[in-house]
């Protein structure tokens, strides 16, 4: 930041504009950073603006600029070293940390896409509560996956870096068939990204992450062990639902499909039924009456 401001100030000086104002700005922004250089520059600003003085000003500016860049590089390196020396961090490569952060954001993105689908089927003119509840469950599941990755990063002494969640621009999912096809593609995409994280964990011999992915995620999506198992189960389930959804070309077909979804997948504990904050005494009374 300093070297950008300083460059602008020097340009103003060489253009013979506002010498006093510029000198005060140099004092303000740079005196604490490099007092010797800034004092000499300020001194020269009040002398007649000869070519030699301008050249000397330029040389000082160049010297200060390179010094600032060197300092910024050193600060960057020291911050990296500080992150690497965090008390709880041990053999946790940055490439693995970045991959885990990326996967967490992908899981958040998938979660909000499923929430969008759930909200679509919950509209009064769509009114398919079975599909609404199914995608609400998917939303919750993906949120849990994201939190598992953020917790793992913290466990290993890393830094969780959250950014803007990329949400699908699609809000009108048109039909059951369209939504379930999109969900199947999304699940496959998340699984493929998860496999990249797995490969990076293997590359850096992060055995705990390898075990977590293979035993917690993958079964949900090819029999590989929990994450991978979950993804494999989810893909298999969605593929079968897509096949059934192909039969819903009529409103009656959609209604029958939704009844099957509701009886098979939607429980009373589903978040689609949540109308109050837990712990509210009045909310408990209302729930008892229901």
Residue 47: what pLDDT? Answer: 52
Looking at per-residue pLDDT, the higher value among 124 and 35 belongs to 124
Contact by Cβ (8 Å): 235, 242: no
Measured CA to CA, the distance from residue 90 to residue 157 in angstroms comes to 7
Number of H helices, E strands in the chain: 11, 2
Residue 44: what pLDDT? Answer: 55
Residue 121: what pLDDT? Answer: 96
Q: How many C-beta atoms surround the C-beta of residue 237 within 10 A?
A: 15
Determine the average pLDDT of the residues in 120-140.
Answer: 95
Name, in order, each residue with C-beta under 8 angstroms of 110's C-beta and a sequence gap of 6 or more: 142, 186, 187, 190
- Superfamily classification of domain 94-274: Ferritin, core subunit, four-helix bundle (1.20.1260.10)
Q: What is the Cβ-side half-sphere exposure of residue 1, based on CA atoms within 13 angstroms?
A: 3
pLDDT in tens, 99-129: 999 999 999 999 999 999 999 999 999 999 9
Looking at per-residue pLDDT, the higher value among 78 and 168 belongs to 168
Q: At 222, is the pLDDT very low, low, confident or very high (cuts 50, 70, 90)?
A: very low
pLDDT in tens, 57-105: 666 666 665 665 555 555 555 445 445 568 889 999 999 999 999 999 9
Residue 221 labelled as part of a binding site: yes
Q: At 170, is the pLDDT very low, low, confident or very high (cuts 50, 70, 90)?
A: confident
Q: Check whether 216 has a pLDDT greater than 80.
A: no
Residue 108: what pLDDT? Answer: 97
Contact by Cβ (8 Å): 183, 170: no
Residue 78: what pLDDT? Answer: 45
Determine the average pLDDT of the residues in 38-67.
Answer: 59
> How does the average pLDDT of the chain come out, rounded?
77
Residue 113: what pLDDT? Answer: 96
Q: At 235, is the pLDDT very low, low, confident or very high (cuts 50, 70, 90)?
A: confident
Identify which of 53, 42, 47, 33 has the alpha carbon closest to the alpha carbon of residue 9.
42
Q: At 225, is the pLDDT very low, low, confident or very high (cuts 50, 70, 90)?
A: very low
Which part of the chain is CATH 1.20.1260.10? 94-274
Percent of the chain with pLDDT over 90: 42
Residue 79: what pLDDT? Answer: 46
Residue 187 labelled as part of a binding site: yes
Measured CA to CA, the distance from residue 181 to residue 172 in angstroms comes to 14
Residue 224: what pLDDT? Answer: 36
Looking at per-residue pLDDT, the higher value among 178 and 4 belongs to 178
Name, in order, each residue with C-beta under 8 angstroms of 255's C-beta and a sequence gap of 6 or more: 128
Q: At 251, is the pLDDT very low, low, confident or very high (cuts 50, 70, 90)?
A: confident
Percent of the chain with pLDDT over 70: 62
Identify which of 136, 162, 135, 134 has the alpha carbon closest to the alpha carbon of residue 150.
162
Determine the average pLDDT of the residues in 217-231.
Answer: 55
Contact by Cβ (8 Å): 226, 215: yes
Measured CA to CA, the distance from residue 243 to residue 185 in angstroms comes to 14
Q: Check whether 41 has a pLDDT greater than 70.
A: no
Looking at per-residue pLDDT, the higher value among 4 and 88 belongs to 88
């Amino acid at each position: 930041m300093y070297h950008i401001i300083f460059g602008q100030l020097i340009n103003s000086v060489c253009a013979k504009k506002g010498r006093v104002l510029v000198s005060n700005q140099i004092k303000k922004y740079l005196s604490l950073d490099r007092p010797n250089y800034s004092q000499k520059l300020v001194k020269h600003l009040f002398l007649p603006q000869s070519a030699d003085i301008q050249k000397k000003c330029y040389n000082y500016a160049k010297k200060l600029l390179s010094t600032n860049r060197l300092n910024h590089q050193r600060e960057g390196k020291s911050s990296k070293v500080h992150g690497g020396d965090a008390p709880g961090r041990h053999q946790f490569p940055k490439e693995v940390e970045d991959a885990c952060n990326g996967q967490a954001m992908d899981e958040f993105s998938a979660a909000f896409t499923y929430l969008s689908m759930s909200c679509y089927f919950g509209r009064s003119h769509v009114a398919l509560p079975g599909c609404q509840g199914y995608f609400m469950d998917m939303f919750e599941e993906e949120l849990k996956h994201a939190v598992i990755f953020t917790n793992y990063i913290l466990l290993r002494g890393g830094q969780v870096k959250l950014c803007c969640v990329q949400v699908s621009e699609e809000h009108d999912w048109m039909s059951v068939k369209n939504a379930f096809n999109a969900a199947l593609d999304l699940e496959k995409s998340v699984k493929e990204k998860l496999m990249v994280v797995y490969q990076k964990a293997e590359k850096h011999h992060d055995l705990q992450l390898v075990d977590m992915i293979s035993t917690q995620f993958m079964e949900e999506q090819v029999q590989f062990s929990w994450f991978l198992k979950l993804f494999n189960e989810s893909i298999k389930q969605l593929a079968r639902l897509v096949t059934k959804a192909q039969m819903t070309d009529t409103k009656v077909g959609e209604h029958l499909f939704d009844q099957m979804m509701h009886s098979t997948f939607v429980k009373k504990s589903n978040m689609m039924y949540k109308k109050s904050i837990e712990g509210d005494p009045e909310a408990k009374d209302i729930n008892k009456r229901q």
